[in-house]
């Protein structure tokens, strides 16, 4: 799931948090690592444009 905007970022962070208890070596753990890399990459690429804090989209 590429992260292309802040809405995608919110979804990725939610999924990342949901997978916090994923067992080592499981597909969920691999997904969590993938999300971690994608989230970090998005922040690096967009750090100048992101707001420091913002309300959740409901």
Q: What is the dihedral of CA 29, 33, 39, 40, to 10 degrees?
A: 150
**pTM for this structure?**
0.79
pLDDT at position 14 is: 96
- Phi first, then psi, for residue 40 (nearest 5°) are -60, -40
* Residue 54 per-residue DSSP state: -
1-58 per-position pLDDT tens digit:
689 998 999 999 999 999 999 999 999 999 999 999 999 999 999 888 876 655 566 5
- Phi first, then psi, for residue 2 (nearest 5°) are -70, 145
Measured CA to CA, the distance from residue 46 to residue 29 in angstroms comes to: 26
Nearest alpha carbon to residue 20 among 36, 6, 3, 7: 36
């Amino acid at each position: 799931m590429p992260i292309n905007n802040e809405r995608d970022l919110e979804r990725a962070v939610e999924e990342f948090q949901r997978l916090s208890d994923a067992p080592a070596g499981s597909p969920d753990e691999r997904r969590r690592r993938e999300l971690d890399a994608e989230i970090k990459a998005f922040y690096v690429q967009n750090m100048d444009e992101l707001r420091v804090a913002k309300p959740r989209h409901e």
